[in-house]
Amino acid sequence: MGKQPTDKKNWGRSYGEMVWKEFAKSKLSIASLVFIVFLFFLAIFAPFLANDKPFMIKINGQWNYPLFRSLTASDYAVFLAAAFAVFQLLLIRRNKKYIEPSIRGQVLGRQVFVNSLIVVIGTVLFFVMVPRRLDATDYKEMIVSGSAEGAVFAPIPYGYGRTDLKIREQPPSREHWLGTDDVGSDVLCRLIHGSRISLSVGFVAVGLSVLIGVFVGAVLGYFGGKVDFVGMRIVEIFMAIPPLLLMITVVAFFGRGLFLIMMVIGLITWTSNARFVRAEFFKLRQQDFVQSAVSLGLPLRSILFRHMLPNGIAPVLVNATFGIAGAIFYEAALSFLGFGVAPPTPSWGQILSLGVSTSGRFLWWLTLFPGLAIFLTALAYNLVGEGLRDAVDPRLRKAA
């Protein structure tokens, strides 16, 4: 850096720090954040928490590690991403101590970029290198029959796709803490693995919608005039489409893949982001720093995304938090209606849909637990979003 670092004692507080301080004032927001972190913990370590394969098993005097052998490329990718997310958080703590607030944003951006690049490359590598392994050996049977001497199982020793018709539709018991579903799979196990689907749908769909929304909104807001007029009419056309109906139509005709569902949710919900960004850019383009950037002859890309966007992104990030809750709801609704991911991939909405059997019998454990999971997750995201909104926009807070 060309600048001489000033004395640490004279460092002011960065924007991030201020927002965090405001956010942390509310206990409810912090509690919600803790809950979301807990959910992420469940989702990341799902294969270790609920798995029908043992961590280790002794067969013929030799220890085997079936659980680790059965981890898939996506498992490894999730671990990698989680590790780098934690690493990034530690970096942010470190930045606070050693890097001057005025350039901290820039440094942070670079760190995030490098880290996500590593995660993306790592994910691709995992998918190329880690083969899909199928292992349906019944290890529990081995213990019972005595062909294995000892084993260490996961806390919930069931697989989410394992079926056993003999124990179908059983209420919670010692063996199955949250009961079993229509083909005898363990509900708790399916809930834990289902958290991965719900969280990833939330993030990918919202990521896509933010990407599209920011791009469209930035262009409309910066240029204004005729571009804005035509563009906003197109945005309004998109807003007029009932999202759930369009989703059902698309999924019905193109098959039921997780990726497709994420794409569709993202492609439908970007309009609100576009409007937020447009409004911010309308405000910003009059300001001196933008005018000077224009007069310096900077390229449009640089003006829009390097100079204006960081100043106008806050409301979008807040909106995205609500968007995640919405996307989780949409996925659950689709699954509930029978248009979600194909079985046996677990999804909360799909478990919920089994709660009323065709004969009208009410299976409470298939309704209560996934319903609670969806409700709490959506609530937590909404509370975090609310906390963030108050922290970002002090005017709103005062008004409230």
| Footprint on this chain of other proteins (rule: CB under 8 A) | 131-136, 161-163, 165-166, 168, 182-183, 185, 252-253, 255-256, 338-339, 342-344, 356-361
Cβ nearer to other proteins, comparing 113 with 254: 254
Smallest distance, other proteins to C-beta of residue 108, A: 42
Smallest distance, other proteins to C-beta of residue 153, A: 19
Alpha helices (H) along 45-163 = 46-49, 66-69, 73-98, 101-129, 139-145
Residue 385 CA to residue 274 CA, distance in Å, equals: 18
Q: Is 179 left (phi over 0), alpha (psi -120 to 50) or beta?
A: left
Cβ nearer to other proteins, comparing 3 with 253: 253
Residue 64, strand partner residues: 57
Element (H, E) at 288: helix 288-295
The residue with tokens 């454990």 is: 365
Smallest distance, other proteins to C-beta of residue 183, A: 5
Residue 353 CA to residue 80 CA, distance in Å, equals: 33
**Residue 353 tokens, joined:** 């849909």
Smallest distance, other proteins to C-beta of residue 165, A: 4
Cβ nearer to other proteins, comparing 161 with 315: 161
Give every CB contact of residue 288 below 8 A, 6+ residues apart in sequence. none
3-class secondary structure, 25 = coil
**Residue 250 tokens, joined:** 């698309």
Residue 277 CA to residue 212 CA, distance in Å, equals: 11
Smallest distance, other proteins to C-beta of residue 64, A: 14
Cβ nearer to other proteins, comparing 140 with 162: 162
Cβ nearer to other proteins, comparing 269 with 353: 353
Smallest distance, other proteins to C-beta of residue 48, A: 20
The C-alpha torsion from 300 through 320 and 264 to 329, rounded to 10°, is: -170
Smallest distance, other proteins to C-beta of residue 315, A: 39
Cβ nearer to other proteins, comparing 297 with 360: 360
3-class secondary structure, 356 = strand
The string over 108-133, giving b where at least 16 C-beta atoms fall within 10 Å of a residue's C-beta and e elsewhere, is beebeeebeeebeebbeebeeeeeee
Cβ nearer to other proteins, comparing 187 with 313: 187
Cβ nearer to other proteins, comparing 298 with 337: 337
Smallest distance, other proteins to C-beta of residue 18, A: 50
Query: 323 and 269 in contact (C-beta within 8 Å)?
Result: yes
